[in-house]
Structure 1
Amino acid sequence: MVDLGHHYVLDIVLNDESFLKDEHQLQAFFQKVLTKTRFNVIGFLSHKFTSEGEGVTGIFLLSESHLSYHTYPESNYMSVDIYTCGGKCFSAVREIESSLKSVNRIIVRYIERGSHINTPLFHKRDVLAEKVS
């Protein structure tokens, strides 16, 4: 099996605070996107926060990899992460873009992943980590 991966990161600003707070509506929206673009959902998990903006975080486990999201209703913001080993990833991005209402801005970034990637290597000594007490 080829380990080529397609990783899309979406930053979405939209004027729909109730949607961004609604755990069930978000799950239904992303389930519809995944069904329409023919992904194979093998699991789902979400959590509704009850303080600090009342956002929702969720993840769909796919046979192709995953789709995750986290909402910040107080900022009208949602982050979405789609990573797959299949070629259907971009179709899910397009479906999200075309299906969302009240969108002000969507920024989409793409990262190609896999063992074949030739990028400059870094050394552990060059990586700074935050100390957690």
Structure 2
Amino acid sequence: MQGLHLTADLHNCRCDPAWLLDADRLGDWCIKAVQAAGLQPVNQLFHTFPATEHGPGGITATILLAESHMCIHTWPEQKAVTLDVYVCNFGGDHSARARSLMQSLVERFAPEWTEQRSLDRGDES
């Protein structure tokens, strides 16, 4: 078992607010971004949460990949997003594809600043 797990916390996103609120729009774009990165989507779930006293409901967008998964959570009232891209490198190294997808995701939300992390998982044996 071995893989690459990328995470990013995006702050003060300057994108069109629809990207933080419209699950269908975000989901359609995510499928295209996954494919453009050379990864294979096998299933997906895009969910909009109801509004609360704190503001409009955010989105959770999850795509199950043949290589593992991608997940997005939006907090429109904070103009914040968290991203998670994980690829298993069983049978081939998908790390460059994961990094490409993460870059596309970050660019989509146009954050003022980000906190990104990378974790190599498992070992080569």
| Superposition TM-score tier, normalisation by shorter sequence | 0.7 to 0.9
1:15-51 CA-to-partner distances (Å, cap 9, x unmatched) read: 3332201111111221121011111100001211112
Aligned pairs for 1:29-108 (under 5 A) are 29-52=29-52, 53-85=56-88, 86-87=94-95, 88-98=97-107, 100=108, 102-108=110-116
Q: Secondary structure at the match of 1:54?
A: coil
Matched residue type, 1:20: L
TM-fit CA distance, 1:115: 4.4
Higher strand share: 2
**Which one has the largest radius of gyration?**
1
Equivalent pair of 2:42/2:66 in contact (CA under 8 Å): yes
Matched residue type, 1:93: M
The number of residues matched between the two structures is 114
Matched residue type, 2:71: S
Q: Distance in 2 between matches of 1:17 and 1:69?
A: 15
TM-fit CA distance, 1:97: 3.2
Equivalent pair of 2:5/2:119 in contact (CA under 8 Å): yes
- Could you tell me the percent identity over the aligned residues? 26
Matched residue type, 1:45: L
Q: Distance in 2 between matches of 1:45 and 1:19?
A: 16
1:68-88 CA-to-partner distances (Å, cap 9, x unmatched) read: 111100000111100001222
Structure 2 match to 1:22: 22
Q: CA RMSD in A?
A: 1.8
Structure 2 match to 1:113: 121
Equivalent pair of 1:17/1:74 in contact (CA under 8 Å): no
Q: Secondary structure at the match of 1:6?
A: strand
Q: Secondary structure at the match of 1:9?
A: strand
Matched residue type, 1:114: G
Q: Secondary structure at the match of 2:100?
A: helix
Give unmatched runs, 5+ long, in structure 2.
Answer: 89-93
Normalised to the residue count of structure 1, the TM-score between the two structures is: 0.77
Normalised to the residue count of structure 2, the TM-score between the two structures is: 0.81
Q: Distance in 1 between matches of 2:6 and 2:19?
A: 22
